[in-house]
Amino acid sequence: MDIDAGNGSGPPGSPRIVVARRPRVPLVWTIPIVAALVAAFLAWQTWSQMGPTITIVFEHASGLEEGKTPIKYRDVSLGVVKTVRLSPDLSHVIVTAQMDEDAEDHLTEGTKFWIESARLSASGVSGLSTLVSGVYVGMLPGPGKAARRFDGQANPPVLTMNVPGRTFHLHADRLGSLSAGTSLYYRGIAVGEVLGYDLDASGRGVTIFAFVRAPHDTLVKPETHFWNASGIDVSLGASGVKVRTEGLVSVLLGGIAFDTPDSAASAIPSPAGASFPLFDSHEAIAEGQYTERIPFLARFEGSVEGLLPGAPVLMRGLQIGVVKSVSLEIDLDTSEVEIPVVFEIQPQRASLRGKLSESPGRERAAAMVKHGLRAQLQSGNLLTGSLLIGLEFFPDAPKAELVFEGELPVIPTVPSDIQELKQEATKFVQNLAKAPIGQLVTDLRNGVQTIDRLLASKKVQEGVPEMVDNVNATLAAARGALEKAEVLIGDAGDAIGPDSALRYELGRMIAELTRTARSLRVLADFLERDPNALIFGKGTAP
């Protein structure tokens, strides 16, 4: 209250009372009100920027923390994990995440989520930053309609961002060492990755999804060849040992290589989704170019140890086919054992001439068999003992006709060189065993003894000294031959063995007997012309 002494309505000089008005809101409330307004603004701003709430189903929740684990795309946070709980049947983990407004347009059916952590895969080492910052949920937007529930992946996709390029389908019999993330090489340079794989609809093969990054995807043409470049490809040929590999990474982790012939360099690039066969090796590409294959059957009686499926079929040293199967058949009634071998002939490997070149395949095969075409086992490698099938013409072979077992034409066979040598040796020993060698040696001994007694007489020695010397030398050779013959006959049982020197010793014995017979024939001819020489000597008259 203020007192004004000169301006009142009372008597002059009387004081005037002036009452001051107080403000309705105290200043002390200003700060809380401002703070509340700021908080309300921040809450409104946060709410306005808040995106939808989504649910992600994972197999496990390794490293996830409620309210802390972020959801990132290209290392930018687009949300955070709110809750982590088990499903009612305890089979999986249900994660609730609060997404930002910027991510709402990208939450579609094709969007992928995974738990990013440090891992080692075929594409290399990834997620090392999580060792310091902790794990996070990775996100990769995809096409499709809007969605709020997603199934999380166990592993991150190979391409975690929209990389330009094309995906091609490679078909193989088996996957081998290939996996998601395996590199694709073009002339030794990594230009793509394997996105994944799946079984064919028939279940007999594998389809591999290979991604080639731009601009290298234009290198894939309809004539392009893909092959498995995993490991080290070593081949031994006439020019020496060849080693082929795409690099150390492909040796350790596997890889796929591709190349396009120079003749197709100007061809139009293949579209995305084009299919190609995946060859087992670079050498198998040339094999795959022979699309025409005619199956045949050959039956062998001897051992086929070393003949395996995949062995080549050669004619005059050039491959014209490949062995497909080797089996065993036993006839219990006759105890006969045969080895049926199925092989394929690739007629595109040879050029045909003559009148029969335009005839159907069966007629050509029948004519060739009639002219002596036979299948024979031949040595493929002396070090490994591997065998192969050789198709050759044997004009002296027994006559045969082309027959069929089911749909398979049967090519007649001839013994291999080793089998033929064994058969000849066996026949020789059998004939030797049947020959009356003992009687021949006895008769020869009696004849030699008679001549020896005749020439030992004093009269003959005085009359024909020179002739006696020659005959004595002949007799000495005959005695040596007889002694060797007796030794051979006595040891005939041991000489027939496979490691014996029978052939060598018999050869020497026959040579010496031939010389002895020649000398005796000369002596007999001389005595027939001049029988008086036994009494009067050579070149003398009575």
What value does the mean pLDDT take over residues 281-299? 80
Task: Tell me: do 470 and 495 sit in the same domain.
Answer: yes
What value does the mean pLDDT take over residues 318-346? 88
- 221 falls in which pLDDT band (50, 70, 90)? very high
- DSSP character at residue 411: P
Task: Tell me: do 406 and 383 sit in the same domain.
Answer: yes
Nearest residue to 454 (alpha-carbon basis) of 477, 474, 479, 471: 471
- The pLDDT value given to residue 47: 67
Judge whether residue 178 has pLDDT over 80: yes
Minimum mean pLDDT range among 79-88, 155-164, 251-260, 334-343: 155-164
Judge whether residue 220 has pLDDT over 90: yes
- The pLDDT > 70 percentage for the chain reads 61
The amino acid present at 122, given as its one-letter code, is: A
Judge whether residue 294 has pLDDT over 50: yes
- How many C-alpha atoms does 458 have within 13 Å on its Cβ side? 0
pTM: 0.50
- 370 falls in which pLDDT band (50, 70, 90)? confident
- The pLDDT value given to residue 79: 92
Task: Tell me: do 184 and 275 sit in the same domain.
Answer: yes
- The pLDDT value given to residue 537: 58
Task: Tell me: do 514 and 443 sit in the same domain.
Answer: yes
* DSSP states along 123-139: TEEE-TTHHHH--EEEE
Is 28 among the domain residues?
no
The amino acid present at 446, given as its one-letter code, is: N
- The pLDDT value given to residue 368: 87
Is 103 among the domain residues?
no
**Residue 106 structure tokens:** 């990208």
Strand, coil or helix: what is 443? helix
Residue that is last in its domain, among 220, 253, 288: 288
Minimum mean pLDDT range among 48-62, 369-383, 476-490: 476-490
The amino acid present at 169, given as its one-letter code, is: H
Distance, CA of 148 to CA of 267 (rounded, Å): 45
Judge whether residue 169 has pLDDT over 90: yes
Residues near 37 by Cβ (< 8 Å), separated by ≥ 6?
none
- The pLDDT value given to residue 271: 93
- The pLDDT value given to residue 21: 59
Mean pLDDT score across all residues of the chain: 76
Is 146 among the domain residues?
no
Judge whether residue 313 has pLDDT over 70: yes
What value does the mean pLDDT take over residues 414-418? 75
Q: Is 392 exposed, middle or buried (0-12, 13-18, 19+ CB in 10 A)?
A: middle
Q: Give whichever of 76-90, 240-254, 298-312 has the largest mean pLDDT.
A: 76-90
Place of tokens 């990474």: 249
- The pLDDT value given to residue 381: 73
Task: Tell me: do 284 and 301 sit in the same domain.
Answer: no
Task: Tell me: do 362 and 465 sit in the same domain.
Answer: no
Q: HEC profile for 185-245?
A: EECCEEEEEEEEEEECCCCCCEEEEEEEECCHHHHCCCCCEEEECCCCEEEEECCEEEEEC
- The pLDDT value given to residue 293: 84
Strand, coil or helix: what is 271? coil
Is 17 among the domain residues?
no
Task: Tell me: do 305 and 407 sit in the same domain.
Answer: yes
Judge whether residue 461 has pLDDT over 60: no
Nearest residue to 344 (alpha-carbon basis) of 389, 302, 307: 389
- 248 falls in which pLDDT band (50, 70, 90)? very low
Minimum mean pLDDT range among 116-120, 321-325, 518-522: 518-522
Chain segment 224-237, per-residue pLDDT in tens = 999 988 755 555 44
Task: Tell me: do 335 and 399 sit in the same domain.
Answer: yes
CA 529 from chain center: how many Å?
82
Cα Rg of the chain (Å, integer):
50
Distance, CA of 192 to CA of 177 (rounded, Å): 17
Pairing label, strands 255-259, 183-186:
parallel
Judge whether residue 336 has pLDDT over 70: yes
What value does the mean pLDDT take over residues 416-424? 63
Is 399 among the domain residues?
yes
Is 501 among the domain residues?
yes
Distance, CA of 515 to CA of 358 (rounded, Å): 61
- How many C-alpha atoms does 97 have within 13 Å on its Cβ side? 35
Judge whether residue 261 has pLDDT over 70: yes
* DSSP states along 242-258: EEE-S-HHHHHH-EEEE
Q: Give whichever of 117-121, 232-236, 496-500 has the largest mean pLDDT.
A: 117-121
Distance, CA of 14 to CA of 6 (rounded, Å): 7
Judge whether residue 535 has pLDDT over 70: no
- The pLDDT value given to residue 92: 92
- Using left for φ > 0, alpha for ψ between -120 and 50, and beta otherwise, residue 351 falls in beta
Instruction: Say how many C-beta atoms besides its own lie within 10 A of residue 330's C-beta.
Output: 9
What value does the mean pLDDT take over residues 415-431? 64
**Is pLDDT larger for residue 8 or for residue 311?**
311
What value does the mean pLDDT take over residues 144-149? 90
Is 213 among the domain residues?
yes
Is 10 among the domain residues?
no
Minimum mean pLDDT range among 96-100, 106-110, 348-352: 348-352
Judge whether residue 421 has pLDDT over 80: no
**Is pLDDT larger for residue 404 or for residue 489?**
404
- 467 falls in which pLDDT band (50, 70, 90)? low
Residue that is last in its domain, among 224, 257, 288: 288
- The pLDDT value given to residue 541: 46
Judge whether residue 1 has pLDDT over 60: no
C-alpha angle 369-371-375 in degrees, rounded to nearest 5:
45
- The pLDDT > 90 percentage for the chain reads 19
Task: Tell me: do 281 and 227 sit in the same domain.
Answer: yes
The answer to whether the CB of 454 falls within 8 A of the CB of 461 is no
Distance, CA of 509 to CA of 444 (rounded, Å): 14
Residue that is last in its domain, among 414, 435, 468: 414
**Residue 440 structure tokens:** 């021949």
**Is pLDDT larger for residue 149 or for residue 44?**
149
Q: HEC profile for 451-474?
A: HHHHHCCHHHHHHCHHHHHHHHHH
- The pLDDT value given to residue 396: 85
Task: Tell me: do 408 and 432 sit in the same domain.
Answer: no
Task: Tell me: do 315 and 283 sit in the same domain.
Answer: no
Task: Tell me: do 433 and 456 sit in the same domain.
Answer: yes
| Number of domains the chain is built from | 3
Judge whether residue 164 has pLDDT over 70: yes
User: By residue range, what is the domain housing residue 205?
Assistant: 165-288
What value does the mean pLDDT take over residues 247-276? 79
